[in-house]
Structure 1
């Protein structure tokens, strides 16, 4: 993988003092809630000071991931705040821009700002001034369709140039350069002062500014003032207008000298006037509602969850009895899916949903012997799907965890699967890829974090509907999800927004009658540290399992309600399941009885277990006859597992081999005078015989001699080691960390160092001296040379500066082209060297 060109990263070398001060003013509970909302900022190694925490809060990857979890008004308020500049913005100014100065809109703005502050994206000082995170400017480089701010356009302007601009506005000239920029920005961003300035402007200035494009650039072809109703101006007037605008900072020439001039964002915003307001939707769209009772919701949710759990148990039992075969490229193809659908008597979407949830829960294992699932809190980026690893095909098998899962009560079985559904990195019932082709089940798909956000958005949207009401149509619920999670991707093949997510939630009983069920409410508040609430909700709604079956003379067994795991395992071993649901039916057949005997049960043991399950003194006569007849024919032909067969024409020689003490490890067994069976494989058996002085030869299955040639060993290609997972801290650890950070006061002006422990975890190829060199370069902004391992297993060399750490990435700029940013994956860093001049290169 080659390093990628990206937008210039936010400089996080030093956290803004306003952010550090705001963190210091939080009490322990508020700081804990912030850490819980942004747990990646507290991952190992934990921050040791508020300054280091502030630096982590500003990391682009961490901050932009948070935005996917926020509703529409939060994103609208954050973008509007970016449009008002990077410095402190009075709350009243933001409220005026969004037309949210009073009433419901004002309350909605405060709610949005509180949510943004809870994620560390916006903070407020004691004078009601708002500070946006610098990372937000990276998300919205052109907020509200405006151009770059004045400070960015004049970043390379000298003090003399700023003096000339202020003099043109007849403003006093401050001493500090920063104050000069602030004074100029204040002047140009005031609509009234800008209107007065434009009233003195020569013809064509307003037209010149209004014809700028959405990103601040303007076309030089025409300067007509059609938007204002003014006549077009001549080329000479256009030139004078451009000069006049340049002299007053209304139009900023490119600092490099060859790009187009741009209108500052502050000017464009002021030109729109005080009566223009960007969209702000603090109230979610209310779908069409209809009244529903709590009992109705609970009843429908219980029926759906019970059916899902019963069908999941039947489907996984079918996989255990006859493991489906994976495709060579991974996943289950249409043939195996169809077979499972017929065997378990359920629809394909449900089969896909169950299999994906079971794999995520660690109940399935691939043909290569690799279990699915991942540890709680492990980064999804470092998790390998079992089907992805089983590219060689092979059977899909069940893990030891399945053996425990099938014996648990239905409520616990359901809880395991529904939690796995909540964390899936894609939508399992969405089967079409971008080219319109169907995905095989269990195949490795591109992970999409927005799928998890869509599920969370559904739980939030359905849970905030008016009490006693549900959405009359799923499409209305989908539009509500889009308000709560606007950055969650919608699948193109869906009939309405988030149709697949809503359908899955209904199959699981998470949503019922258009609203959040008690199971959904428990899932919404689920925590791995406290799983009891979800299990308790499932126990209240799902019926208890029964351990009794009614066995009839028609060779059927009927179980009313969900069977216990032991009863289901017994009946699945000895009979064929015909139906499941409120009542499950099994039919006894000779093949089923033979399967139970193959599993190690004797005829007497099987009869006793079935009689105990039916609470009968003896089995019905037809079933007893079926067991006896099958047992009579069972085992008449025996199949011996052997490593290899030895045969020859001399019975005396073979008898000598069978009695040879030096060959005892082969466990040779004589089947006939000229035939022996070895427990070891052919290679081990040949080596043992040759070691004892015999001269055997190898023979193929066709009876021809095998020629022994040395095997050619292919060259080994180094593999990229997996990056150690970043385990997220628990709630108790976050509380202790919050207390520690508030009790730790860093010395004035101290900058938190980039910890070498963190770099060692993210870049496993680097040696300790190289990690120290990279840490120093990050801390002191020193140039280094990076050797980078690409996806083609070639090494490229880059001398870079302006480094910014954003795990799992490292942003930098090439020293020869400082305006061209480049992004490296830390796990692909091969070595870190001093710059060429330090090496004498």
Structure 2
């Protein structure tokens, strides 16, 4: 088994550029605090979770070669590997695959058994010769050595090493078996072809349930299982006797590509993006102005989805999709058995349309459900299975990434080709999807079209730029894809306001505060009413500020006379009756005492106000007011609303609970790979 020291020795042979590329490919080893030496870096690279994570994101050819290396174990060579895979030692695909695996720190000369953390039994093989021989005593080892013509060392450790080396030579094993009786050879061939999986707990404990040929047992070609009646064949012997190459698929499938008008794709992308923003607005209106009932399990039933779809004038699938994406982004959440706008909506509402679309796309990538997958229409919305979250997020990125890599503008791909492509590019991910792969891919395909990332079976420029992460190019494209938000409104004499296009966040906030929404499809329309103007005044506006603000956004720079009259009429009525909040009141027949208390500087914190000669109001609740008065030297008595006295009961105080520590949030800090590679190589 390779140790961190072995790997560190290999890392020392790399150039700064090669080590930097390796670190970039294994970002998990860059988490701060950064490794302080190549030995510490090697330890991180050999961590089980790091190896599994890296291989889980690898293509099929890389996985096949890595498993073959794991099967060969420590001491593997390119020649032995090529022979196992059935390709020449100088095969360009094999060389390229090994280069990729080496660049990720997964393989290096002579070391391979560390990959068994991914495959405890690679290629269905059992334990190695060294592991099986270790179970025998020295006498048995010497007997095997005599049968093989090997003189083992004096110690058990040396004997095991020498016999394991002999059994690891495939040519010697095949030559030996060729000399065996025919029945023995047949039996050994059957054992060699057996996969470990069917045999009991862990496979290695019971062994193959076959007769153990004494001839083979005497020569260490099989070892009797100490836990059962079966036998176990060393992995090296099984590889030598199996014959035939293990699977190696160096190239991905080459699917047929169609032709599509690139301009038509971009026009459809723009239309889909605008429609998605309009759809989210429609759902927002429904949630904000009607009661959307939530089931006990937190989902939304089919009946409620249909009602929402009818009210919004949209199909049920689109409503389901919008609700799920908005929920994933924190814009929507359940509250007291009804759907309500969440904290994330406030941030979303302040964004301009391009930012809103990117926010929705980001929420979609992490959505732990596939609402448009075939077969989901009969299920309640928001019935999420978080076990699918990692699979779905990987598949979404995979679908977009594959289209970007296998097509150029003007080319399209049939969605039926995607499962096969994904199986080659992401074998572990597609294996995790199991029987849901086809339906997940079909759902993702539809959802990406609704967001404008795909159109007519082709990836759009928006999809390519989102995948590339080019912020400047993305902003420039979105400025063209989504028309700039309107900052002005047409104010009409019938007390309506009309915006053609998408209003800016500031304009939308002003009109939503001062008027009632009538339509948000096509032209956005609001109507000013006494109730809507009163709502704005209650929110802190004044008649003068409303006139100023609305005049500033009016397209012709003036306010229609009916609207100005409405604002002034409502303004004159507003505030004629005032409601003041108080914490409690102080009552006393001694007016001079109340004068003294109200004027006291020590009681300034109570915000005392004289309401009548014998009544004063305190801004603090009764308990705080009583404490402040007593500390000021007065002797107040607490009474109920009806004037009856309150009798205080002294209770034993309990210690306050210890504060609950809040875990740190956010992504982990990563070291710079270039600087770290240079520093580590200089230290060594």
Tell me the TM-score range normalised by the shorter chain: 0.7 to 0.9
Pick one of 450, 460, 465 that aligns with 1:517.
460
The aligned residue for residue 90 of structure 1 is 77
Do structure 1's residue 137 and structure 2's residue 116 form an aligned pair?
yes
> How big is each residue's C-alpha offset from its partner over 1:305-334, in whole Å with a ceiling of 9 and x where there is no partner?
333345557767998x78999999997877
> How big is each residue's C-alpha offset from its partner over 1:395-447, in whole Å with a ceiling of 9 and x where there is no partner?
86547x956x655543344345534554x373475899x9x985759x99569
Equivalences for residues 165-204 of structure 1 within 5 A:
165-171=144-150, 176-177=158-159, 179-187=161-169, 192-193=174-175, 195-199=177-181, 202=184
Instruction: Report if aligned partners of 1:699, 1:706 keep a CA contact under 8 Å in 2.
Output: no
The aligned residue for residue 713 of structure 1 is 654
Q: CA deviation at 1:252?
A: 1.9
Do structure 1's residue 688 and structure 2's residue 676 form an aligned pair?
no
* CA distance in 2: counterparts of 1:584 and 1:706, whole angstroms: 61
The aligned residue for residue 115 of structure 1 is 100
Do structure 1's residue 15 and structure 2's residue 24 form an aligned pair?
no
Q: CA deviation at 1:168?
A: 1.6
The aligned residue for residue 422 of structure 2 is 481
Do structure 1's residue 40 and structure 2's residue 28 form an aligned pair?
yes
Do structure 1's residue 308 and structure 2's residue 250 form an aligned pair?
no
Partner SS for 2:19:
helix
The aligned residue for residue 291 of structure 1 is 259
Instruction: Report if aligned partners of 1:352, 1:429 keep a CA contact under 8 Å in 2.
Output: yes
> How big is each residue's C-alpha offset from its partner over 1:472-510, in whole Å with a ceiling of 9 and x where there is no partner?
33x533443343223334397786133444444333322
Which has the larger Rg? 2
CA change 1:65–1:493 in 2 (3 A) is closer
The aligned residue for residue 504 of structure 2 is 564
CA change 1:710–1:578 in 2 (3 A) is same
Q: CA deviation at 1:578?
A: 4.2
The aligned residue for residue 12 of structure 2 is 24
Do structure 1's residue 268 and structure 2's residue 247 form an aligned pair?
no
Normalized against structure 1, the TM-score is what? Answer: 0.68
Equivalences for residues 303-382 of structure 1 within 5 A:
303-309=271-277, 311-312=279-280, 347-358=319-330
Pick one of 214, 218, 224 that aligns with 1:253.
224
> How big is each residue's C-alpha offset from its partner over 1:533-579, in whole Å with a ceiling of 9 and x where there is no partner?
43334334332222122333444333233322222222222233444
CA change 1:269–1:220 in 2 (3 A) is closer
Partner SS for 1:671:
strand
Q: For the aligned residues, what is the CA RMSD?
A: 4.6
* Deviating more after overlay: 694-703 vs 295-304: 694-703
The aligned residue for residue 151 of structure 1 is 130
Instruction: Report if aligned partners of 1:40, 1:728 keep a CA contact under 8 Å in 2.
Output: no
* CA distance in 2: counterparts of 1:51 and 1:563, whole angstroms: 58
The aligned residue for residue 59 of structure 1 is 47
* Deviating more after overlay: 181-190 vs 114-123: 181-190
CA change 1:282–1:452 in 2 (3 A) is same
The aligned residue for residue 200 of structure 2 is none
* CA distance in 2: counterparts of 1:683 and 1:172, whole angstroms: 94
CA change 1:668–1:688 in 2 (3 A) is same
* Deviating more after overlay: 292-301 vs 407-416: 407-416
Instruction: Report if aligned partners of 1:146, 1:214 keep a CA contact under 8 Å in 2.
Output: yes
Instruction: Report if aligned partners of 1:562, 1:582 keep a CA contact under 8 Å in 2.
Output: no
* CA distance in 1: counterparts of 2:292 and 2:92, whole angstroms: 58
* CA distance in 2: counterparts of 1:681 and 1:343, whole angstroms: 47
Please list every run of 5 or more consecutive structure 2 residues that lacks an aligned counterpart in the other structure: 198-202
The aligned residue for residue 772 of structure 1 is none
The aligned residue for residue 357 of structure 2 is 414
* Deviating more after overlay: 597-606 vs 164-173: 164-173
Please list every run of 5 or more consecutive structure 1 residues that lacks an aligned counterpart in the other structure: 1-10, 224-237, 367-386, 746-841
* CA distance in 1: counterparts of 2:593 and 2:294, whole angstroms: 47
* CA distance in 1: counterparts of 2:437 and 2:639, whole angstroms: 61
Q: CA deviation at 1:140?
A: 0.7
CA change 1:207–1:120 in 2 (3 A) is closer
Normalized against structure 2, the TM-score is what? Answer: 0.81
Q: CA deviation at 1:454?
A: 2.3
CA change 1:709–1:190 in 2 (3 A) is farther
The aligned residue for residue 196 of structure 2 is 214
Partner SS for 2:224:
coil
* CA distance in 1: counterparts of 2:486 and 2:62, whole angstroms: 50
Instruction: Report if aligned partners of 2:413, 2:457 keep a CA contact under 8 Å in 1.
Output: yes
> How big is each residue's C-alpha offset from its partner over 1:597-654, in whole Å with a ceiling of 9 and x where there is no partner?
2332222332333233232243334434443443344334433233334456777765
The aligned residue for residue 381 of structure 1 is none
The aligned residue for residue 426 of structure 1 is 368
CA change 1:689–1:720 in 2 (3 A) is closer
* CA distance in 2: counterparts of 1:640 and 1:662, whole angstroms: 24
* CA distance in 2: counterparts of 1:186 and 1:117, whole angstroms: 24
Q: CA deviation at 1:458?
A: 2.0
CA change 1:633–1:99 in 2 (3 A) is farther
Do structure 1's residue 490 and structure 2's residue 433 form an aligned pair?
yes
* Deviating more after overlay: 636-645 vs 309-318: 309-318
* Deviating more after overlay: 533-542 vs 322-331: 322-331
Q: CA deviation at 1:735?
A: 1.0
The aligned residue for residue 281 of structure 1 is 249
> How big is each residue's C-alpha offset from its partner over 1:3-27, in whole Å with a ceiling of 9 and x where there is no partner?
xxxxxxxx88x3152x334322332
Partner SS for 2:321:
helix
Do structure 1's residue 532 and structure 2's residue 475 form an aligned pair?
no
Q: Which has the higher helix share?
A: 2
The aligned residue for residue 674 of structure 2 is 735
Aligned residues: 665
Q: CA deviation at 1:196?
A: 0.8
